[in-house]
Amino acid sequence: MLRRSIFTTLVSLLLAAGLMTAAPTARADVPYDNSIGIIKVPNQVRKGNCAKYRLRWDFNPPSDEWTVIGRIRTPKGFSIVSQFWDSNSPNNLGREKGRLRIQLCGSSVKPGRYKVEMQMVYSVGRNTYTVNRRPTYFRLLRHR
């Protein structure tokens, strides 16, 4: 019994020390640059449990080779949808400007303030750069 207690205490201390010395997440050290463009979702009325909502984008990539990752987070911070754009995409998602409808489903889609995160990865020569844009926000409003 004493061995088990010492062992679990030692493992707990080692795990705690490992977590304290772990490298920060990749997103924490990526700078903000709002000049790369924007993903904008207007305030809209919540349409039900599973519905499509308007979204528009306007990117200003520093090179011809780029990828954009957009993520929408609930008011509680949970990611509920991600969207990818790529300069090599043969459809509308390869354009620098456009509109689409995104589908939000599930019990997490409630009235409130949602966060839109945007990250751009682009290449210049053999170098690859990753830049975040400051988040934008939109509201899903209750039915009237």
How far apart are the C-alpha atoms of 32 and 71, rounded to whole Å?
16
Closest of 63, 75, 81 to residue 128, by C-alpha:
63
Would the pLDDT of 2 be above 90?
no
How far apart are the C-alpha atoms of 109 and 144, rounded to whole Å?
17
Structure confidence by residue, pLDDT tens digits, 29-67: 667 999 999 999 999 998 878 899 999 999 999 999 999
Would the pLDDT of 83 be above 60?
yes
Q: For residue 11, name the pLDDT band (cuts at 50, 70, 90).
A: very low
How far apart are the C-alpha atoms of 120 and 112, rounded to whole Å?
26
Domains along the chain with CATH numbers: 31-141 (2.60.40.1930)
Tokens at residue 7, please?
A: 């062992």
Q: What is the model's pLDDT at position 6?
A: 46
Would the pLDDT of 23 be above 90?
no
- Following DSSP, what letter does each residue of 58-97 receive, concatenated? EE--SSSEEEEEEEEE-TTS-EEEEEEEETT-SSGGGSSE
How far apart are the C-alpha atoms of 66 and 121, rounded to whole Å?
6
How far apart are the C-alpha atoms of 117 and 133, rounded to whole Å?
7
- Mean pLDDT score of the chain: 83
